[in-house]
Structure 1
Amino acid sequence: MDVGIAGLAGSGRTTLFRALLAHRAPRESGARHAGGAIGTIHVQDARLEQLSARFRPKKTTPIEIRVHDCCPSLEPSFPTAEIGAMKQMDQLLLAVPAFADPSEAALGQGFERLLSELCLADLTLVERRLGQAHAKYSDTERAALERAQHALEEGRPVAAASLSTPQREALRGYAFVTDRFMIALVNTAEDAADAAPPEALVKRAEEYGIPTLALCAALEAEMAELPTEERVSFLAEYGIPEPAGAAVTRAILRCADIIPFFTIGDDECRAWAIRRGTTAHAAAGKIHTDIARGFIRAEVIAAEDLEPLQGGLGEARKLGKLRLEGKGYVIQDGEVVHFRFNV
Structure 2
Amino acid sequence: MHPASLVTDGKGAIWLNEVHCSGSESKLLNCAYNDDSTNCRHNEDVGIHCFLSCSTEDQGGLRISAGIAVNQGRLEINYKGEWGTICYKNFDNVEAEVACKQLGYCSGIMHPPRITHNGDGVVWLNDVTCSGSESRLLNCSFDINIEQCSHRDDVGVHCFLSCSPENEGGLRISAGIAVNQGRLEINYKGEWGTICYKNFDNVDAEVACKQLGYCSGIMHPPRITNNGDGVVWLNDVTCSGSESRLLNCSFDINIEQCSHHDDVGVHCFLSCSPENEGSLRIMSGFAVNQGRLDINYKGEWGTVCSRDFENVDAEVACKQLGYWYV
Give the TM interval when normalised to the shorter protein: under 0.3
Q: What is the TM-score when the length of structure 1 is the normalising length?
A: 0.25
Q: Which has the higher contact order (CA 8 A, sep 6+)?
A: 1
Structure with more of its chain in helix, by fraction: 1
Structure whose CA Rg is larger: 2
